[in-house]
Amino acid sequence: MSTISHRLQDILATIQATKAATHCSQTVNLLAVSKTQKVQAVREAYAAGQSMFGENYLQEALEKQAELTDLPIEWHFIGPIQSNKTQLIAQNFAWVHSVDRLKIAQRLNDARLESLPPLQVCLQVNVSNEESKSGVSQLELEALATAIDNLPRLKLRGLMAIPAPTNDKNKQRIQFKQVRECYDALLAKGFALDTLSIGMSDDYPIAIEQGATIVRIGSALFGARPSTRL
Ligand SMILES: *Cc1c(COP(=O)(O)O)cnc(C)c1O
C-alpha cells in the first residue's frame, strides 16, 4: 500500500472511532483537499477509494481536472471566490463551499449550465470575526440563505467555516459549536440543509463531535504542503 493509501485508512478509522466515542450518528464524508498536490497524488488517493476532492485555486484545479478526466471525481471548490472566476467555477465543479455573498451566488447561478445538475452550495460563515475577511457574518446569514434558496440553479446544502487557527481544543470546540448553532437555527427556520463542512487535519475529531458531515483534509492525507502557499 502507498503512504497515501495508509493515511486514508487511518483517517477513515479515526472518523469512525470518533463517531463511536462521541455517539454521533451523522454520516461523515471525507473531502480530500488536493491543493498544491500533484496529479499523481490524486490518482493514488482515488485508487485507494477516495472520490471527493477539494481545490482552492481555480487555475490549478482546472489544470488538474484536465489531466484527470478519466476518473469520475466529484470536485468541490473551497477557496475564496473572485467574481471574474464564477463562470469557470460554476462550469467545472459539483460543489462550492465558500459562497459568502449574494452577488457571487447570483453569478454562479447564472453561469451554471442547464445540462448539469444544480450547483451544490454551502455558505461560508465567519465565526472567528477578528482578522478573517471571508465568510458571511452570523447576523447576515439568514437573509443570504433565503436569497440563495430562491436561485434555481443552486442547491443550498449547508454551512462551511474555517475557524481561527488554534491548538487549544476548547477554543476549537467553541468555534465549531457556534457554526453548529447557526446551522441548527437555519434548520429550525425550515431550511432543508444536510451539510456541515467543518474540520481540517488538525481538528477534525472535534468537528465531528460538533456535528460535521464533511471534513476537509489535506496535509493529514497527502503530507505537508510547500509553505509558500496555504
Ligand atoms: C487547505 C484547506 C483545508 C485543508 O487543510 P489541512 O490542514 O491541510 O487539512 C481545508 N479547508 C480549506 C478551506 C483549506 O483551504
**Does ligand 1 come within 6 angstroms of the Cβ of 163?**
no
Percent of the chain with pLDDT over 70: 96
Q: Is residue 108 part of a domain?
A: yes
What confidence score (pLDDT) does residue 130 get?
A: 64
For the entire predicted model, the pTM comes to 0.96
Q: Is residue 97 part of a domain?
A: yes
What confidence score (pLDDT) does residue 228 get?
A: 55
Q: Is residue 148 part of a domain?
A: yes
Please tell me the total count of domains within the chain: 1
How much distance in Å is there from the Cα of 218 to the middle of ligand 1? 6
Residue 127 · residue 115 · CB < 8 Å = no
What confidence score (pLDDT) does residue 133 get?
A: 72
**Does ligand 1 come within 6 angstroms of the Cβ of 218?**
yes
How much distance in Å is there from the Cα of 84 to the middle of ligand 1? 23
Average pLDDT over residues 50-74: 98
**Does ligand 1 come within 6 angstroms of the Cβ of 224?**
no
Which cell goes with 170? 476548547
Helices (H), 150-215: 169-188, 204-209
Band (pLDDT 50/70/90 cuts) for residue 203 is very high
Average pLDDT over residues 105-111: 98
Residue 156 · residue 102 · CB < 8 Å = no
**Does ligand 1 come within 6 angstroms of the Cβ of 11?**
no
Band (pLDDT 50/70/90 cuts) for residue 99 is very high
Q: Is residue 184 part of a domain?
A: yes
Counting ligand 1 atoms within 8 A of each CB, the residue from 10, 11, 15, 33 with the most, and so the one to mutate, is: 33
Q: Is residue 28 part of a domain?
A: yes
Q: Is residue 165 part of a domain?
A: yes
- For residue 38, how many other CB atoms are within 10 A of its CB? 12
Ligand 1, atom 5, residue with closest C-alpha: 218
What are 114-165's pLDDT values in tens digits?
999 999 999 999 987 666 678 999 999 999 999 999 999 999 999 999 998 8
CATH number at residue 48: 3.20.20.10
What are 1-19's pLDDT values in tens digits?
679 999 999 999 999 999 9
Q: Is residue 230 part of a domain?
A: no
Domain that holds residue 36: 3-222
What confidence score (pLDDT) does residue 227 get?
A: 64
Q: C-alpha angle 224/95/128, rounded to 5°?
A: 60
Residue 217 has pLDDT above 70, yes or no: yes
**Does ligand 1 come within 6 angstroms of the Cβ of 200?**
yes
What are 171-190's pLDDT values in tens digits?
999 999 999 999 999 999 99
Average pLDDT over the chain reads 95
Q: Is residue 229 part of a domain?
A: no
Question: What whole-number distance in Å separates Cα of residue 119 and Cα of residue 56?
Answer: 17
Residue 161 · residue 181 · CB < 8 Å = no
How much distance in Å is there from the Cα of 164 to the middle of ligand 1? 12
Question: What whole-number distance in Å separates Cα of residue 103 and Cα of residue 106?
Answer: 5
Helices (H), the chain: 3-22, 39-47, 58-67, 86-92, 102-111, 141-149, 169-188, 204-209, 219-222
